[in-house]
Amino acid sequence: MLVQSALLALGASLVSAVPILEAKDNYFWNPKTGNRFQIVGVAYQPGGSAGYTADTPDALNDPEVCLRDAAILQVLGVNAIRVYNLNPDQNHDACASIFNAAGMYMLLDVNSPLVGESLTSHNPWESYYASYLNRTFAIVEAFKNYPNTLAFFSGNEVMNNEETGATVPPYARAMTRDLKNYVANHCDRKIPVGYSAADVRDILWDSFQYFQCAAKGDKSDPSYADLFALNSYSWCGESSYTESGFDQLTAGFKDSSVPVFFSEYGCNTPSPRIFTEVGAIYGNEMMEVFSGGVVYEYTQEANNYGLVNISADGSITLRTDYYDLKGQFAKLDYKKVQGSKPPSGPAPKPPVCESKLITTKGFNSNFTLPVLPPDAPEIIKEGVSPKPSGKLISVSNWTPKYTIRNSDGSEIKSLSVKQLADDQTNEPGLNDADLTAPTGTTTGGGASSPSPSSKNAAGKSVIVSLPVALGALALVAGLM
């Protein structure tokens, strides 16, 4: 590929690597520092779900695009991206190496919206077959060797109401089991596998218990999730810890035996967004329970959640949302956010999988999982064929070729990715390129810490999460 080869040089030194993280008890852990790790992320899917096809480059295939976006995200201060739709047959070495050098981890969905590439919410047994599993395992093979691969999502919002809660749970948990068994057989390290749930309070707690329980309470149960994440949009504008219901989330997950974090957040009412929830997510109360979160989303699509606009020529224009989020991240005390030690007391134990865990009438309380479909046991044992393979590579150019503009149209000069030192992750200020808001643009408006409120919590969260533009695809597991 000409674009990729132009970025690489035979004499370039190998890019430095972020420290490999682990999911330990109910937090992410950095073995190099002994500290807990908080995800400060952004959802990354240029072109949206509709832009993904088997014949076009996926989000991590074009090095020039990744270089452009890694520079912008590095200045923003994020340390992780979530990528939804990936093609295991494409090469991701350059993009993975660029994001790695920029100090960013990758949270990866193994599904896609294409037919046969996801577990469906309607009649899930019809989509659970060997060729589908082979495709998800190929994603594991393609990304397992990158040190900045943080985790795999076995599903995304496959359960989004009581009806799907009646049929989907055993199949969604079986997918977690199958992926974990494949990782155990074919990866050099234990890459976490978990589920990304819709914040629908009618079924949220049952969904959580269904994934975080273990047979006989034993964490070695391969179907026991390594993590649980949720897509939550209940904090809108100048809300608060209690008005948004974030206090209920903190209370509900406080005894989790696995890491819990927001796999999507960022209500877009009002717009532009002011992201006052950032101070709460990385505040004392929530950091004891949560491991950070991922803002939805990087590029502006029809659903109006973007931090940047992308033009047809590949140029970028920063939106007010970008400056506001940057302002909120800049207020955080990163030594405190990333410097906390794991709790000294005994780790929470997973509950035993049994029907009394389930409290919602109609939600599936049967923990007997479907057996593997024909041919799948052989794939898990022998590995996929052909087998994709990825590795970090040398990168010689760190300056984007695309034009990047402020919201007022002024061009931003001298922006590049700053290659971080070995074992270093990104944080605000490490790349100090001047991406400041033009005069008159709001930045980080509103209080960044949870404000007290006498109002009761919302109790139920509306699925603001998957904006209307994706509604027609809501039955598919791997959606954004």
**20-43 burial, b if ≥16 CB within 10 A, otherwise e?**
bbbbbbbbbbbeeeebbbbbbbbb
Mean pLDDT confidence for 95-118: 96
157: annotated active-site residue? yes
pLDDT one-digit tens code per residue, 80-93: 999 999 999 999 99
Give the pLDDT of residue 475. Answer: 36
Q: What angle do CA 81, 54, 385 make, to 5 degrees?
A: 90
Give the pLDDT of residue 47. Answer: 85
Strand arrangement, sheet containing 404-405 = 308-310, 316-318, 404-405
Residues in contact with 25: Cβ distance below 8 Å, sequence separation at least 6, in sequence order: 257, 258, 342, 347, 348
Say which residue, 4 or 75, is predicted with more confidence: 75
Picking from 227, 231, 233, the residue whose alpha carbon sits closest to that of residue 193 is 227
Give the pLDDT of residue 296. Answer: 98
Give the pLDDT of residue 325. Answer: 98
Confidence of residue 458 (pLDDT cuts 50, 70, 90): very low
Give the pLDDT of residue 476. Answer: 37
Give the pLDDT of residue 41. Answer: 98
Say whether pLDDT at 12 is over 70: no
C-alpha to C-alpha distances, 39 to 82, 128, 221, 241, 281, nearest whole angstrom: 10, 31, 26, 19, 10
From the candidates 157, 277, 297, 427, which is the catalytic residue? 157
pLDDT one-digit tens code per residue, 394-453: 999 999 999 999 999 999 998 999 999 999 999 999 999 988 777 665 554 544 333 323
264: annotated active-site residue? yes
Give the pLDDT of residue 343. Answer: 85
Mean pLDDT confidence for 360-375: 96
Give the pLDDT of residue 158. Answer: 96
Give the pLDDT of residue 240. Answer: 97
Say whether pLDDT at 97 is over 50: yes
From the candidates 22, 141, 243, 264, which is the catalytic residue? 264
